[in-house]
Amino acid sequence: MRLLAAFHAAANPNAIPAPHIEYRAILPMLIVFGVACVGVLVEAFVPRVHRAVTQTVLALAGLVAALVAVVANTGLPRRLVVQSAVAADGPTLFIQGTILALSIGALLLIADRSIGADSDFVAQAADLPGTEQERASVRAGLRQTEVFPLAMFAVAGMMLFPAANDLVLAFVALEVLSLPLYLLAGMARRRRLLSQEAAVKYFLLGAFSSAFFVYGLALVYGYAKSVEYGDIATSLTSSDRGDSLVIVGLALIGISLLFKLSGVPFHWWTPDVYQGAPTPITAFMAAGTKVAAFGALLRVFFVAFGGLAWDWRPVVWGVAIATMVVGAILGVTQTDVKRLLAYSSIAHAGFILTAFAATTRASESSVLFYLVAYGFMNIGAFAIVMLVRDADGEANHLSRWVGLGRRSPLMAGIFALFLLAMAGLPPTSGLWAKVAVFQAAYQGGAGPLVIVGVLASAVTAYYYLRIIVLMFSQEPAVEGPTVVMPGALSAAAIALGVAVTIVLGVVPQTVLDLADKAVPFLR
């Protein structure tokens, strides 16, 4: 009888009021979550032969639908939704749109590389490497199509992480985005032990960083009596309490966020994980995770802890300088192209951190622009890395890349374009990205950071140009690797990367204005 009485809420004086949920504002994330769940059902019910194609179509359709939903949401008013847990403001839409576009590119790579016989993904991850069972699975043509729903969950987490307006939801989103990536990093088909080692390293260090986040969350809650960013900011303005609790909490949360975006000294996982993971997943991680992590970093530090800017700015200076220096200098000695790109992504994280050190509106918009440019050039670069193959898979050692320009001028030329973009040379998007970021840093009073940034750019340019020279100036070895022609999906992803890099290099103003209109973050 009490159950029936519950449905007549009006008669109940203790009735808990229903929460108000603005479905339209969170529709993009709901679409991606829904696609991921349907993907799991596809895994359960669709027969094996049709699974890969069904998953690809479903995932692509879902991402495109979510992107349309994001664009349709631009007309909505800027406000906090879902019980103030999600901030539906300009930067959220911009970052979610960027992540979706990047994920479409990454998904094209994943799909291309898992449908063909020459897949980059393991036949069955539960097989021990080097056993007869593994050979039997490969002969039987098994395919680990769980990659698709896992990637979709990661995308959903990436979309939620920068949009979260309270620390609890940010933590859950961090886990949703990280767990599938830990799994996906271990699923490479060749050099499986290296891949599993990368997955274990990523998992252990990522689990520790999540623990730091929760610890910081607890301490901040103890200080501010709330986990919402707005409430934390308000509590910082009242100075009747000692700061030590919130500063320790902020430091712990900062450690976790810096881990996710490969800031020194929490960058140690990046080269090993980027090298060991299957290359489509490396492209996905390099692009998507960084964008999501930077979005969350900006929101947490600017909105929640803006009042402590005097305390955290010197630390960000140090971290930015160290990150740029490590990324630049350690990249010079690398001989594996994926590790080199990993160190270059560390350097790029450092460049973005220089703008982050200046807490102005221009710094927010320049960071958003840089993330767009950086994401697409990385997806394109890793897509080309996937094409350089020899008899036993990808040829990642730089010594095997000698003379590839003679073998396949088109692909080598496109790779050179991406390397020039990473170096920040015209007429690519990288130039305008660096200009925007350094300008914002300089105007925000972080002049020395700009100087270090320019020097680090010069060092990174050295090793990018060294690769270009390597590819074009010498004769290729006779039994060297070939550059495989990309399938239709990979070609689409590469074309997307090239288009964005060149278009943003020639006419950056549209996206710069878009980024400028998107900020500031909702306080």
SS (H, E, C) 299-355: HHHHHHCHHHHHHHHHHHHHHHHHHHHHHHHHHHCCCEHHHHHHHHHHHHHHHHHHH
Q: Quick one: which segment of 61-69, 164-172, 317-325, 479-487 binds other proteins (CB under 8 A)? A: 164-172
Of 131 and 510, the one with the shorter C-beta distance to other proteins is: 131
Q: Quick one: which segment of 183-191, 280-288, 395-403, 510-518 binds other proteins (CB under 8 A)? A: 183-191
Order of strands across the sheet with 393-394? 393-394, 388-390, 482-483
Of 16 and 391, the one with the shorter C-beta distance to other proteins is: 16
Measure the CA–CA gap between 308 and 394, rounded to whole angstroms. Answer: 48
Of 182 and 464, the one with the shorter C-beta distance to other proteins is: 182
19 makes contact with other proteins (CB under 8 A): yes
List 37, 322, 465, 492, residue binding other proteins (CB under 8 A): 37
183 makes contact with other proteins (CB under 8 A): yes
- Among 305, 143, 112, which Cα is nearest to 224's? 305
Contacting other proteins within 218-277 (CB under 8 A): 219, 222-223, 225, 241-242, 244-245, 247-248
12 makes contact with other proteins (CB under 8 A): yes
What is the SS3 assignment for 485? coil
Which tokens is 479 given? 């039994």
Within 10 A of 221 (CB to CB), how many other CB atoms are there?
18
Q: Which of the 8 DSSP states describes residue 391? A: T
Measure the CA–CA gap between 376 and 372, rounded to whole angstroms. Answer: 6
5 makes contact with other proteins (CB under 8 A): yes
**Are the C-beta atoms of 151 and 183 separated by less than 8 Å?**
no
133 makes contact with other proteins (CB under 8 A): yes
- Total residues at the site for other proteins (CB under 8 A)? 67
List 25, 36, 287, 452, residue binding other proteins (CB under 8 A): 36
List 25, 28, 31, 33, residue binding other proteins (CB under 8 A): 33
18 makes contact with other proteins (CB under 8 A): yes
Beta bridge partners of 393: 390
Pairing of strands 86-88, 482-483: unpaired
Pairing of strands 79-81, 86-88: antiparallel
Contacting other proteins within 143-162 (CB under 8 A): 144, 146, 149-150, 153, 156-157, 160
Binding site for other proteins (CB under 8 A): 2-3, 5-7, 9, 12, 14-19, 21, 26, 33, 36-37, 40-41, 43-45, 82-83, 85-86, 124-127, 133, 136-137, 139-140, 142, 144, 146, 149-150, 153, 156-157, 160, 168-169, 172-173, 175-176, 179-180, 182-183, 186-187, 219, 222-223, 225, 241-242, 244-245, 247-248
